Structure 1
């Protein structure tokens, strides 16, 4: 059974006349008749009954037509989706990103890109750096916006920007009046931090390891907003980047002076994964945009 036979059958079922169907298919009537006869022979049953000068589907034909219509529709949709995927003006882009980037950065990037290419469709996900990279390596994502971390040789990572990280304390904390501090001065403080696998936690562990300090961890969480809530409740202090929309009413921010303290954000993708033209265009757009990025520009 050949694909062309199914298309011929579908057309004849709609037109119900060999001559008209042959003309619509741009082939001779005998050629159409032979194709339908061969199809019926392969199936072992007749599909049409004669009716005057035309033909009509019999019970077998109606059942077969119902199935074939769905198959042809799916093939048409598959061709359309492939066209859109390979057309840079269309296509779908799957992007995962750190939760803290979902307030300003990612909405700004997506909105700016869609202003230029409105037919592109985005699938967006939020997760920890570790989880995102696992999904990326599995092949279920095009890109992830994550902090710099150790990755497999199959992952490409391009630095986009850096964010300074600060110590946040409650307003009534003895250190709240200070503008800056060293991490060594905080060795006796209790910290509330994100769980392992999150980018800010990775930076936190690395900094204290470099200084050969063992921080006291009171609580671990999965949301920066929850961590700030714990700080406001005087349950500890924390190390985080300045996150857009962070309520600073009840907390104070201190710079760190004894060691460079920043989070590096970049774009990661799988080296051997085929990226649609729209995805490649988005990658180039991000790299170009971030080369001159000023956080003050992140307005809609």
Structure 2
């Protein structure tokens, strides 16, 4: 059984046309069609059926694809591992991370790592908390950087740092000139939050409940920068990390449209950690990246505190 045929079968089962799969495999369309027919004969079942102008997996095809994914992912990981044994300074780090960490933590870690291992490549994915665990379980990532321990029996999580969270208010908000407030002081205001499934959303709800109220949701977004922009526009308040320009300058500055206030009645912070599948041996490059991340964040409490 040809691995390339399995790759073509997977591509077609995931929605590619036979023409597209054939081009990717450097085959003619008739040649790939014959190869797929031979694959069905070897398996002993119809794997693909025509629906309109495209092929879709049959029930047997969907079952078979799960095993094909395992075979191909294992083979690719094996090739990577061998390549890294031959040349330990090369390799690929397949990393998935929270959207909110793409503005500061992940770029810093990747940049610092590549200063030592310039030949290592990165495959990067973004997802919410729920999607990150799936990246590990379906082998699309070797590592994830997430806001909390996934709590999955197959996943090992290690804390990297504690990231402080702030109450973000518009520059003309009634509390904007304060440095510290109680979260309960904005209980009646609209909150700009991330959609359910995002770690920051669950942290926001937990902290509001600890302060004695349920947040009044005015908008649900998918990116912290969107939330920040809506807060600046005066549409509500939000719990979030300080903006990158704030943490870089160690101060809020009089001209910034959002003020970040420390909270005194709740512990406004979240854990950030790195996780991997417990039973899977990490490739050398991924192991080095974990060591680098742990060293780079050792002793830190998160982003610098706004003035």
Q: Same fold (TM over 0.5)?
A: yes
Are 1:257 and 2:256 matched, yes or no? no
SS of residue in 1 equivalent to 2:259: strand
The 5-angstrom pairing of residues 101-180 of structure 1 reads 101-180=101-180
TM-score, structure 1 normalization? 0.67
What runs of 5+ residues in structure 2 fail to find an aligned partner? 1-75, 247-251
Deviation at 1:152, TM superposition (A): 0.8
Range that drifts further, 177-186 or 153-162: 177-186
Deviation at 1:112, TM superposition (A): 1.6
Deviation at 1:276, TM superposition (A): 0.9
* Contact 1:88–1:281, Cα closer than 8 Å, also in 2: no
Match of 2:43 in 1: none
Cα separation, 2, equivalents of 1:203 and 1:103: 19
SS of residue in 1 equivalent to 2:131: helix
* Contact 2:133–2:150, Cα closer than 8 Å, also in 1: no
Cα separation, 2, equivalents of 1:79 and 1:218: 49
TM-score, structure 2 normalization? 0.66
Does the C-alpha gap of structure 1 residues 276 and 185 become closer, same or farther in structure 2, counting only changes over 3 Å? Answer: same
Deviation at 1:255, TM superposition (A): 0.9
Cα separation, 2, equivalents of 1:151 and 1:88: 32
* Contact 2:181–2:261, Cα closer than 8 Å, also in 1: yes
Computed over aligned residues only, the root mean square deviation of the Cα atoms, in angstroms, reads: 2.4
Deviation at 1:165, TM superposition (A): 0.7
Does the C-alpha gap of structure 1 residues 243 and 154 become closer, same or farther in structure 2, counting only changes over 3 Å? Answer: farther
* Contact 2:91–2:285, Cα closer than 8 Å, also in 1: yes
Cα separation, 1, equivalents of 2:300 and 2:237: 30
* Contact 1:96–1:126, Cα closer than 8 Å, also in 2: yes
Cα separation, 1, equivalents of 2:188 and 2:177: 18
Cα separation, 2, equivalents of 1:262 and 1:195: 19
The 5-angstrom pairing of residues 8-157 of structure 1 reads 81-86=80-85, 87-157=87-157
* Contact 1:88–1:276, Cα closer than 8 Å, also in 2: no
Match of 2:53 in 1: none
Match of 1:284 in 2: 291
Does the C-alpha gap of structure 1 residues 140 and 235 become closer, same or farther in structure 2, counting only changes over 3 Å? Answer: same
Equivalent pairs counted in the alignment come to 221
SS of residue in 1 equivalent to 2:245: coil
Deviation at 1:199, TM superposition (A): 2.0
SS of residue in 1 equivalent to 2:202: helix
